[in-house]
Amino acid sequence: MGWRGVFMHFRGCSGEPNRLARCYHAGETEDFAALVDTLRQREPHTPLAAVGFSLGGNVLLKWLGELGERAPLQAAVAVSVPFDLANSVQRINEGFSRAYQLRLVRGLRKSIQAKFNRIAAPPNLGNLRRLRSIREYDDNVTAPLHGFANADEYYSRSSSRQYLKNIRIPTLILHATDDPLMSAQAIPQTNELSSSTRLELSERGGHLGFVGGKYPWRPEYWLELRISEFLSTTLRKPA
């Protein structure tokens, strides 16, 4: 479509551990803000839009709500967002979703251990091998590393749901009611959205899926088409 893209890795997710004890979390908006500021300084007149997926979508929506009308974007899209982190953590600990949780926790433990093989680990980090769930990981790693009292405070302060009313730029939220990583109770109601925010719910789509088509060998990537359609009709053309 003739657009340029910039992909942002969260701290420690690029294949190389970051050099500070802190890393990233679901409510960390400072790094994304720094990236947007850098792009704005380089090209102050170029229209900018952002697309956030899953946890990145939570960060994007929270940042948009924090800034309100000061957000330096023309449009935004968020997909399969864990609007209520406590709800997501509870849901991922149920049924078949626990298989995804196990894989995710193993990856988190491996990543954080690689970091602290290079720098001194905080004395209260504890034994990483005993952590089996996302809540245990957040209680013992995420919360203390980032200044939260515990996992509950981290979830409460970092969930994007409470920020949705403050969003002031055109924003599309795409979500599926069969998302296996959160329950229907996590989906915001209409009265929780600002007038510039549109929530589109699909019965199917899973978590970041939304693949359609009549034949398995001929998939139609509905998600990418819907995102590009929204951005193409929303972005202002350069002067």
Taking the C-alpha atoms of residue 178 and residue 76, their distance in angstroms, rounded to an integer, is 23
| Helix and strand counts by DSSP (H, E) for the chain | 8, 6
Inter-CA distances, 153 with 76, 146, 177, Å: 27, 11, 26
Q: Which residues are catalytic?
A: 54, 179, 207
Residue owning tokens 């599926």: 176
The sign of the dihedral angle between the CA atoms of 216, 102, 87, 59 is negative
Inter-CA distances, 16 with 10, 12, 13, 111, Å: 11, 6, 7, 9
Taking the C-alpha atoms of residue 173 and residue 189, their distance in angstroms, rounded to an integer, is 12
Contacts 24+ apart (CB under 8 A), 33-39: 33/63, 35/6, 35/8, 36/72, 36/73, 37/72, 39/6
The answer to whether the CB of 169 falls within 8 A of the CB of 196 is: yes
